[in-house]
Amino acid sequence: MDARVGALLLAQLLVQIEVGRQALQDEELLLPGPCGQRSIPTRIVGGKDTELGRWPWQASLRLWGSHHCGGSLLNRRWVLSAAHCFEKNNDPYEWTAQFGELSAMPSIWNLQAYYNRYQVEQIFLSHGYMGGSSSDIALLKLSTSVNYNKYIQPICVLANNYEFENRTDCWVTGWGDIKEDQGLPSPYILQEVEVGIINTTMCNHLFSLPSFRHDIWGDMVCAGDPQGDKDACFGDSGGPLACEKKGVWYQIGIVSWGVGCGRPNRPGVYTNVSSHYEWIRMVMVKNSIHRPDLSPPLLLLPLLWAPPFLLLA
């Protein structure tokens, strides 16, 4: 075997390793890896401000750099949010996602906050979304992979979440207004509220009580407290409604809409994530594998043409 053949074999081997490595990364994007874990010990928070690391999947979705909606990290490249957040601004280049920060308005000296901002590459809205409240779900693909740490972790989603239908101890998080006409005061710290899942029968009943009526359809989940006072509010949109089971956190809903905030008999309405599980999976599968710049034939050609000494250098 002469040097030239040896070099060619080596080139092929290198290509195979590179292709294999890429396939592994693609697979990691699709398979539910470890998710829903938080390493910050749970302690009861006195006020409503949360602690860094309690909700490590929480994203601040930023339009031209300013907080606009919430979101949640599903894996290194994908963020889940609500479709209505992108109704007016659907150009991905206008959006960034910030993770691992308590404040929606970090100081300009906080370099870490800028380091933890990721450019959005593509925005996918559910085809069922018609501007109303049904199918209010969106997926964002980030241009680069998110670096995980203690404060940045993905949350799990389930194909079926019926077992959570009677839970009274779920949580909604966001930077929205704290009351109907009161914005979050400086320093804009992430808020958390404990809520109960309200079944569809009960939710329809609550919404049909006084003068006007909304119907709660199939892909919605209601949560809150029939007494009012515990609710998501404007600006929380797109953020997660999450419940824990055996130490693992699952996203049950996406903050979608409500009537005012925290009014009696007006629970918050969330998009049921499980109803869209198949859509989430399909969008990720179709848009994660083999980006054109990585296709093996294109990689192979320059290597085959290169003189052997370059390959061995």
Ligand X SMILES: *[C@@H]1O[C@H](CO)[C@@H](O)[C@H](O)[C@H]1NC(C)=O
List residues near ligand X by CB under 6 A: 160-166, 197, 199, 201-202, 221, 252, 272, 274-275
The torsion angles phi and psi of 44, rounded to 5 degrees, stand at -70, 125
DSSP character at residue 65? T
Task: Scan for tokens 């929606």, then name that residue.
Answer: 104
14/158 with CB nearer ligand X: 158
252/283 with CB nearer ligand X: 252
Least distance in angstroms from the C-beta of 207 to ligand X: 14
Least distance in angstroms from the C-beta of 279 to ligand X: 12
Least distance in angstroms from the C-beta of 273 to ligand X: 8
- Give the bridge partners for 66, in sequence order: 63
- Give the bridge partners for 95, in sequence order: 63
Catalytic one of 126, 134, 237, 275: 237
> For the stretch 84-116, what's the b/e string if a residue is b when 16 or more beta carbons lie within 10 angstroms of its beta carbon?
bbbeeeeebeebbbbbbbbbbbbeeeeeebeeb
Least distance in angstroms from the C-beta of 160 to ligand X: 5
- Give the whole-angstrom CA distance, residue 46 versus residue 37: 23
Q: State both tokens at 44.
A: 């009861």
110/199 with CB nearer ligand X: 199
DSSP secondary structure, 282-302, as one string: HHHHHHHS--GGG-HHHHHHH
The torsion angles phi and psi of 199, rounded to 5 degrees, stand at -70, 160
> Is 84 part of the annotated catalytic residue set?
yes
> Is 81 part of the annotated catalytic residue set?
no
Catalytic one of 72, 84, 134, 275: 84
Least distance in angstroms from the C-beta of 201 to ligand X: 5
74/142 with CB nearer ligand X: 74
DSSP character at residue 221? E
Catalytic one of 60, 126, 135, 136: 136
> Is 136 part of the annotated catalytic residue set?
yes
233/252 with CB nearer ligand X: 252
Contact (CB, 8 A) for 267 and 257? no
**CA-based torsion, 96, 116, 68, 85: positive or negative:** positive
Half-sphere exposure of 188 (CA within 13 A, CB side): 15
Q: State both tokens at 183.
A: 């914005």
Catalytic machinery residues = 84, 136, 237
